[in-house]
Each structure stands twice: as structure tokens, then as C-alpha cells.
């Protein structure tokens, strides 16, 4: 592996993902500050040398500066990793943007959509910090495995090639392989929307359905994600990549997945509040489902799995009605690719 260019990096958010990435960046030789939203979280991590609440068992190198003071975290740092849950992204940016170094690269690692504005997280960052370049790091990457150095691959995406490649260079090492991708919109949508499908996969498991059902949810899930994504202008191929189908696979099958675990509990009959309490960590799909329903209405696309999850969470659809909702829909053609479907339809019409 080529020698890394050492940078001063701030990781804003010390949940499981922020902590795992701060450890990785420090191991890559960077000078890292890790900012916590809660003072007691920062103090506990500093005293215990680990994040017992969100990432137990992983030693935090002493070289990492742990702080709850934004100014301390950001001063002199030219790369800033945004690792708060998506619903707190804007408030966190508003709180610290006055302390950002001029020209600092902002790298978002959260996965979600802002429901109140119907913006992607990249758009939220660009609106709050218009002077700064934005990148995203996304893909199948549970903190619990990355922090144990289990081989993982992700994508670094930005409208700016230089920003995507800089992000790639910051994170890449022998167990964390980073590809670049120029389709920021597609990367962000894949990462956000898969969480809703993971809730559905968990519900299916909780209901006692089988592997056939899971495979169907994953396959039809990526189809509906790509349907919305392409309607919004994303590249269809991105959904076949790590931040699309890759992340969907890991989150629908792994017991590390917070979204899948919440889904399992709901499928077993627990209420949303009970499920969220039990999982304890952020379950992004619960919020993304609300935004996704608004997006599908705005772009006139059908997303039956996403809509069904929304109905379970917010419209009291009985859990026993989930499979009926999906299986007894009207007959459809399998639309794996919009361009192919169009070609087939043209051919079929010509054959008539």
C-alpha cells in the first residue's frame, strides 16, 4: 500500500460509525479529533479508552483528541467527517460551521434524507456550507466489522473528482478498500433508501417468512430504489454498485443492522417505540420512510415495499397485513432496467 498523506481530520459525531472511522483514520496515520454531541459521552470515552455505549470492545488510540468542543475539534482541520445521525445533520452544521477552516472538505457518512425539505444530505451540507466541497462515503460497512478490521469495500463520491479521490486516499487501507464514484445523488439515495427495505426484510424475518421472501424483498427493493433514483436524475448503474445493492445486501442480512433488528422486533409484534428502545442506536429507515413517501409522490413513482413499511410504522397497518399488501398487488412485468423495459415494450408492440 502506498504511503499515506497525513492529514488533520475532525470526525463530528461519536456514535458507532464516527468512532469506528476515527479509529481507522488514526490507524491510517492521520491526526484525528473526535467530537461528541454529549459532554458525558466524550468524557466516558476519554476515561475508558473505548466507546462502551456504541462500540464496545474497540480500543480508541490515545492519539485521538476526544472533545465536545466544536472549535477545538475543527481548528486546523482540513478534512471534516460528518457522522451524526441524519436528523441532526443540519443542526450540527449550524452549530459548528462558523469554526470550519476555509476550504475544508466535508465528508458525509450519514445515510438519510431530510424530510422537512426533501433534500439529500449532500444538498443540506451544500446549503449550510456553500463554500465547501462535499463528498460522501457509503457502502456495506457495519462499524462492528470495520473496527475489527474485517475486509470491507465502500465508495467515495463527490461531484468533484479531486474531492472523491482525496476521500479515497484518506480512508483506504489494507482492510478498507475505497472506490470512487461521481454519482453523488445515486450514492446518497442508495444508502438512505436501503434502510427502509432493511426494515421490511426484518419484518419478514420477524413474521417467520423465509429465504425466498428475503430474496424477493431485496431484489424488488433495489428495483424500487433505482426507479426513484433514476426519476430524480441518478445513474441507474450506481444502484448495482456498493452503495446500492451492496449496502442493501449487508443491511438486509446482517444481525449488526439496526434497521433489520428493529424490523424483526416489529415483525414479532413490538411497537415502533419498543423496537427503537431495544435497538438503542439510530434506526435511520424509520425517518427515511417518511421522506421516501413524499419523494415517491413528487416523482410519481411506485415503491410498494417502502410504502408498506410506512403504513406499518405510521398508519397502523397490522403486521399480518404486510405480505398480503405486497403479494396481492395487481399483476406486473419485471422491470429490472428502465431502458431494457422500454426496448422490450417497443419490440412487443412491433410484434403485434
Ligand X SMILES: O=C(CO)COP(=O)(O)O
Ligand Y SMILES: NC(=O)C1=CN([C@@H]2O[C@H](COP(=O)(O)OP(=O)(O)OC[C@H]3O[C@@H](n4cnc5c(N)ncnc54)[C@H](O)[C@@H]3O)[C@@H](O)[C@H]2O)C=CC1
Residue 140 binds: one of ligand X, ligand Y, none (C-beta under 5 to 8 A by kind) = ligand X
Go through the chain and tell me how many residues it has: 352
- In the list 214, 220, 258, 307, the residue contacting ligand X (rule: CB under 6 A) is 258
User: According to the annotation, is 337 in a ligand binding site?
Assistant: no
Per annotation, catalytic residue among 72, 194, 324, 332? 194
Is 259 a binding residue for ligand X by CB under 6 A? The answer is: yes
Rounded Cα–Cα distance for residues 299 and 297 (Å):
6
Contact indicator for 238, 222 with CB cutoff of 8 Å? no
Is 247 a binding residue for ligand X by CB under 6 A? The answer is: yes
Residue 246 binds: one of ligand X, ligand Y, none (C-beta under 5 to 8 A by kind) = none
- What's the min distance (Å) between Cβ of 84 and ligand Y? 4
The DSSP code for 111 is -
- What's the min distance (Å) between Cβ of 136 and ligand X? 12
User: According to the annotation, is 68 in a ligand binding site?
Assistant: no
Residue with cell 460522501: 136
User: According to the annotation, is 183 in a ligand binding site?
Assistant: no
Task: Using alpha carbons only, give the angle 240, 127, 229 rounded to the nearest 5 degrees.
Answer: 20
**E strands within 215-319?**
none
Cell of 30: 492521520
Residue 259 binds: one of ligand Y, ligand X, none (C-beta under 5 to 8 A by kind) = ligand X
- What's the min distance (Å) between Cβ of 258 and ligand X? 4
Rounded Cα–Cα distance for residues 278 and 281 (Å):
9
Cα diameter, the chain = 75
Residues forming contacts to ligand Y in the complex (CB under 6 A) are 13-18, 37-38, 41, 54, 83-86, 88, 92, 109-112, 141-143, 281-282, 284
Contact indicator for 306, 289 with CB cutoff of 8 Å? yes
Closest residue to ligand X, judged by C-beta, is 257
User: According to the annotation, is 15 in a ligand binding site?
Assistant: yes
Q: Please state whether beta strands 119-120 and 113-114 pair in parallel, antiparallel, or not at all (unpaired).
A: antiparallel
The DSSP code for 64 is S
- In the list 250, 292, 303, 309, the residue contacting ligand X (rule: CB under 6 A) is 250
- In the list 157, 257, 288, 308, the residue contacting ligand X (rule: CB under 6 A) is 257
- What's the min distance (Å) between Cβ of 139 and ligand X? 7
Instruction: Compare residues 111 and 326 and give the one whose CB is closer to ligand Y.
Output: 111
User: According to the annotation, is 188 in a ligand binding site?
Assistant: no
Residue 287 binds: one of ligand Y, ligand X, none (C-beta under 5 to 8 A by kind) = none
User: According to the annotation, is 258 in a ligand binding site?
Assistant: yes
Q: Which residues contact 103 (CB under 8 A, 6 or more apart)?
A: 78, 131, 132
Is 111 a binding residue for ligand X by CB under 6 A? The answer is: yes
Rounded Cα–Cα distance for residues 245 and 269 (Å):
28
Contact indicator for 167, 105 with CB cutoff of 8 Å? yes
Instruction: Compare residues 112 and 229 and give the one whose CB is closer to ligand Y.
Output: 112
User: According to the annotation, is 260 in a ligand binding site?
Assistant: no
- What's the min distance (Å) between Cβ of 256 and ligand Y? 7
Rounded Cα–Cα distance for residues 337 and 343 (Å):
10
Is 214 a binding residue for ligand X by CB under 6 A? The answer is: no
Q: Can you say how many angstroms the Cα of residue 53 is from the centroid of all Cα atoms in its chain? A: 20
- In the list 18, 140, 241, 267, the residue contacting ligand X (rule: CB under 6 A) is 140
User: According to the annotation, is 212 in a ligand binding site?
Assistant: no
Phi, psi for 299 (deg, rounded to 5): -100, 5
Task: Using alpha carbons only, give the angle 135, 140, 24 rounded to the nearest 5 degrees.
Answer: 65
Residue 8 appears among annotated catalytic residues: no
Residue 168 binds: one of ligand Y, ligand X, none (C-beta under 5 to 8 A by kind) = none
Angle between helix 304-314 and helix 184-207 axes, rounded to 10 deg: 60
- Tell me how crowded residue 99 is: count the other CB atoms within 10 A of its CB: 17
Positions at the binding site for sn-glycerol 3-phosphate: 111, 139, 141, 194, 247, 257-259
Active site residues: 194
Residue ranges that bind ligand X, judged by CB under 6 A: 111, 140-142, 195, 198, 247, 250-251, 257-259
Positions at the binding site: 13-18, 38, 111, 139, 141, 143, 194, 247, 257-259, 282, 284
Amino acid at each position: 500500500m502506498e504511503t499515506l498523506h497525513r492529514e488533520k481530520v475532525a470526525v463530528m459525531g461519536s456514535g458507532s460509525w464516527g468512532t469506528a472511522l476515527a479509529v481507522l483514520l488514526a490507524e491510517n496515520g492521520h491526526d484525528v479529533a473526535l467530537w461528541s454531541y454529549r459532554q458525558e459521552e466524550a468524557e466516558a470515552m476519554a476515561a475508558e479508552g473505548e466507546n462502551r455505549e456504541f462500540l464496545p470492545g474497540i480500543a480508541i488510540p490515545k492519539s485521538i483528541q476526544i472533545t465536545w468542543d466544536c472549535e477545538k475539534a475543527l481548528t486546523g482541520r482540513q478534512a471534516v467527517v460528518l457522522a451524526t445521525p441524519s436528523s441532526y445533520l443540519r443542526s450540527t452544521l449550524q452549530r459548528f460551521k462558523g469554526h470550519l477552516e476555509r476550504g475544508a472538505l466535508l465528508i458525509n457518512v450519514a445515510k438519510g434524507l431530510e424530510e422537512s425539505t426533501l433534500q439529500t444530505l449532500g444538498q443540506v451540507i451544500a446549503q449550510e456550507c456553500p463554500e465547501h466541497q462535499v463528498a460522501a462515503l457509503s457502502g456495506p460497512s457495519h462499524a462492528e466489522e470495520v473496527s475489527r478490521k474485517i475486509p470491507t469495500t465502500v465508495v467515495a463520491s463527490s461531484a468533484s473528482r479531486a474531492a472523491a479521490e482525496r476521500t479515497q486516499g484518506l480512508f483506504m487501507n489494507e482492510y478498507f478498500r475505497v472506490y470512487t464514484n461521481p454519482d453523488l445523488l445515486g450514492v446518497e439515495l442508495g444508502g438512505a433508501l436501503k434502510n427502509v427495505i432493511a426494515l421490511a426484510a426484518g419484518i419478514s424475518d420477524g413474521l417467520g417468512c423465509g429465504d425466498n421472501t428475503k430474496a424477493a424483498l431485496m431484489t424488488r427493493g433495489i428495483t424500487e430504489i433505482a426507479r426513484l433514483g433514476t426519476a430524480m436524475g441518478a445513474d441507474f448503474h450506481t444502484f448495482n454498485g456498493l452503495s446500492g445493492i451492496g449496502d442493501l445486501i449487508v443491511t438486509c442480512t446482517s444481525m449488526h443492522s439496526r434497521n433489520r433488528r428493529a424490523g424483526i422486533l416489529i415483525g414479532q409484534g413490538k411497537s415502533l417505540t419498543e423496537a427503537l428502545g431495544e435497538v438503542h442506536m439510530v434506526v435511520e429507515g424509520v425517518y427515511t420512510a417518511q421522506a421516501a413517501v413524499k419523494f415517491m409522490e413528487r416523482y410519481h413513482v411506485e415503491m410498494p415495499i417502502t410504502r408498506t413499511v410506512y403504513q406499518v410504522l405510521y398508519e397502523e397497518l397490522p403486521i399480518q397485513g404486510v405480505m398480503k399488501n405486497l403479494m396481492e398487488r395487481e399483476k406486473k412485468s419485471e422491470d429490472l432496467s428502465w431502458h431494457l423495459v422500454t426496448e422490450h415494450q417497443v419490440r412487443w408492440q412491433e410484434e403485434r
